[in-house]
Amino acid sequence: MSDRWSWPAGSATGVGSMPGTDIVEAQRMVLGELPDLPHLAELPARGPGSDIIGRTSALLVDLPVELYVGQWRIAARPGRDLRRALDLLERDLDQLTEQGDGYTGVIKVQAAGPWTLAANVDLPVGGRLLRDPGAVRDLATSLAEGLRGHVEDVRRRLPGATVLLQVDEPSLPTVLAGRVPTESGFSAYRAVEESVATDTLRSLVTAVGAPVVFHCCAADVPVALLVSAGASALSLDLSLVTALDPLGEAIDAGVGLLAGVAATSGARAPRSGDLADRIRAVWNQLGFGRSLLAEQVVVTPTCGLAGASLPYAKDVLAACRDAGRRLVEV
């Protein structure tokens, strides 16, 4: 294992979501195909409470949520929807505990970030939390406390493991650009200043007590902002990275890269050699030598695998694993 990054050289991992509704099968696949950096499987096909917004909202402290006409919103008190989300998460963690018994490597868990939650969860009176700066601050504080407890829970369950927290912020670029639509769809919420977004994320990184990977598989990822917020690593879809300079500066500063290169769907899974070549090509474009490539970079799919078939998902994870091992080769 590297002294600078928590994962072993030549590692691969998944973004988070997996196909199907069987957590036993999904977690077994993850642990089997990704032995160096497995993750807690997410199964959104199970319905509300397994989706990234409901799953993360269930971790909020003193901010209960509920479903209203298919939309998560802040509730007056805990209810059935919250209990379902917590029950699903508990089942998933129980499987991780059982199947990961004795595991002593790095384990990755995922949750939505404060800006993605603020853009997707409603106030009790309607409208996204994003419209109320005070509500966003309360949300961020509640989320940081909840994620700290989540990390501590995983550490208790797998006492020999190192926990890596992935914070998913797919909505961050639209939040910064002022492109999150209001309920009517005829206007958008005011853009959030970069300094405010940075401070909010930095406070979360400080509070959770674990290395944080920021994941964003959208275009226009604010790489410099995420680095400034304290990212230990960035998880990106390399095909959407058009501005290489910010990424190069992040890597030069020692930030790890979870490089999304394997397509999440297709007639057949990509070849591991092609994935490794794609990563080497970008690394060479950035002007870095090969010495740190296998240590600083982790191979991943471009995004979650919830929409894939089980055989395809298995093949993609295997291709990522083999591509990571190829990166170790000189």
Q: Tell me how far apart the 2 most distant CA atoms of the chain are, in Å.
A: 59
Would you call 171 exposed, middle or buried from its count of C-beta atoms within 10 A (0-12, 13-18, 19+)?
buried
Q: How many Å apart are CA 187 and CA 149, to the nearest integer?
A: 37
Please state the φ and ψ torsions of residue 297, each to the nearest 5 degrees: -110, 135
CA nearest to 212, candidates 302, 60, 108 = 108
DSSP 44: G
The answer to whether 120 and 128 have CB atoms below 8 angstroms apart is yes
- Kindly report the pTM of this predicted structure: 0.96
For helices 23-33 and 310-328, what crossing angle results, to 10°?
20
Could you tell me the end-to-end alpha-carbon distance of the chain, in angstroms, rounded to an integer?
18
Q: How many Å apart are CA 273 and CA 294, to the nearest integer?
A: 14
**The residue to which tokens 């020692």 are assigned:** 254
- Per-residue pLDDT tens, the chain, 330 aa: give them: 445 789 999 999 999 999 999 999 999 999 999 999 999 999 999 999 999 999 999 999 999 999 999 999 999 999 999 999 999 999 999 999 999 999 999 999 999 999 999 999 999 998 999 999 999 999 999 999 999 999 999 999 999 999 999 999 999 999 999 999 998 888 999 999 999 999 999 999 999 999 999 999 888 999 999 999 999 999 999 999 988 999 999 999 999 999 999 999 988 999 999 999 999 999 999 999 888 999 999 999 999 999 999 999 999 999 999 999 999 986
